[in-house]
Amino acid sequence: MKSEIFTLCSPRLSEGYLLMKYALKRAAAGLATILIVSFLTFAAFSLISGDTATAMLGTSATPERLAALRAELGLDRPLLVRYGEWLLGFFTGNLGVSTSYKQPVWEILGAKFRLTLCLSLMSFVLITAVSIPLGLWSAGRRRFEGARTALNQLGMAVPSFFTGILLSWVFGVGLKWFMPGQFPDGKEDFAGAAVYLFFAAVALSIPRIAMTVRMLRSTVQEELGKDYVRTAISRGNDRGQVLRRHVLKNALPPVVTFLAQTMAEIVAGSIVVEQVFVIPGLGRMLVSSIAGRDYPVVQAIVVILAFWVVLAGTAADLINQRIDPRLRIGGAA
């Protein structure tokens, strides 16, 4: 009903209405995913929550003391109640208290989150800036295709921690452009911190660049084989015009989705890279918390990362919906 009224007013308005409806739907779905993930991890961790009390008091604590601590921490209440409380806390900025550091989780994570965010964004920009031109260039070339594929496979085979070590060796120890293992404070030495992060971002990006180039190349080549390209040529377009006017737009949706997944993979990769370069970010915190069984911290980080991943995916979906009218629910008026 409403959409018809809008159609009467103007086709643009009804298009906008449908887009908004779709966006809200997508946002709701994303929110649901985050809720499910956070609940599952919360439930899983609470199965072993006895360990939290044990972790805090040590294995020599008496059963009475453990029970008392559990009651104090509220660990003996029903699961849903505890989850609800946690959820409420999440939205109000209270993420619980770290069992290792005895500090509010949010305080501990704040600066680390910003750092990992910087690293991730730097990496994403690097990947996009390198792989898109490279991928497009590669798609047009036919010669040495085998060699380029082999090189691509090599790029995907090098783990980021190995690249990190190599970079540390060459640029850190060798050329002394940065001191491996000593991440400078951003406030004091911004340039130094930026350079340091840059090398970490490079280590992180290389395998993903290889994968993106490969993906772009195959997508563009697939599009080039389609009928509308032949039609475009029959109208007198030259190669560049065909690419710019038709192929690029059509090749975009799968690439956009892939880039969203890239964002997720960067998140995962940063866990390892932060370890290699000793960067005090979220990833490093996650590892040490897992080793130390600090579940409030692990829970919080997992949900933050989940949020990040879902955000990237939703953004990609919305962008694709804008590009490809066929994906719009109900079709554009």
Partner 1 sequence: MKRRNGFLTAGLVLTCALAALILLGFFWTPYDPNAMAAGPKFGGPSPAHWMGTDNFGRDIFSRVLKGAGATASIALATLAIGAVCGCLAGALTGCFGGPVDELLMRLNDALTAFPNILLALVVISLLEPGKKINVILALGLVFIPSFARVTRTAFASLRDVNYIKSARLMGASNPRILAIHMLPNTAPVLLPALTIGFNNAVLAEASMSFLGIGVTPPDASLGYMLSEAQGMLFAAPWYAAGTGLVIVLMVFSVGLLGEGLRRQDKGVL
Partner 2 sequence: MLEIRDLHVKFPGRDREAVAGVSLSIRAGEILGLVGESGSGKTVTAMSVAGLLPRKQCDYSGEILLDGKELLHADRAELRNIQGREIGVVFQEPQSALDPLMKIGPQVEEVLRVHTSLSREERRRQAVEAMAAVELPEAEAVYEKYPHQLSGGMLQRAMIAAAVIAKPKLLLLDEPTTALDVTIQAQILELLKRLNRESGVSMLFISHDLNVVRKLCGRVAVMQRGLLVEEGEAQEVFHHPHHPYTRRLIAAIPTRKRKEGGA
Enumerate binding residues for partner 1 (CB under 8 A): 33, 36-37, 41, 44-45, 47-48, 146, 149-150, 153-154, 156-159, 161-162, 165-166, 168-169, 173, 180, 261, 264-265, 267-269, 271-272, 275-276, 286-287, 290-291, 293, 298, 302, 305-306, 309-310, 313
Report the alpha-carbon distance of residue 40 to residue 98 in Å, rounded: 20
Task: For the segment 207-266, give every residue that binds partner 2 (CB under 8 A).
Answer: 226-228, 230-238, 241, 245-246, 249-250
Q: Measured from the CB atom, is 131 or 168 closer to partner 1?
A: 168
Distance in Å, CB of 161 to partner 1, minimum: 5
Helix axes 50-57, 295-323, angle to 10 degrees: 130
Task: Write out the two tokens for 195.
Answer: 């350079």
Task: Write out the two tokens for 137.
Answer: 């260039």
Report the alpha-carbon distance of residue 44 to residue 36 in Å, rounded: 12
Q: Nearest-CA neighbor of 209 among 119, 115, 134? A: 134
11 binds, among partner 1, partner 2, none (CB under 5 to 8 A by kind): partner 2
Report the alpha-carbon distance of residue 145 to residue 73 in Å, rounded: 62
Report the alpha-carbon distance of residue 201 to residue 23 in Å, rounded: 32
The values of phi and psi at residue 75, to 5°, are -80, -5
168 binds, among partner 1, partner 2, none (CB under 5 to 8 A by kind): partner 1
286 binds, among partner 1, partner 2, none (CB under 5 to 8 A by kind): partner 1
10 binds, among partner 1, partner 2, none (CB under 5 to 8 A by kind): none
Task: Write out the two tokens for 316.
Answer: 């990609």
Instruction: Out of 50, 110, 174, 325, name the contact with partner 2 by CB under 8 A.
Output: 325
Note the residues at the interface with partner 2 (CB under 8 A).
11, 226-228, 230-238, 241, 245-246, 249-250, 323-326, 331-332
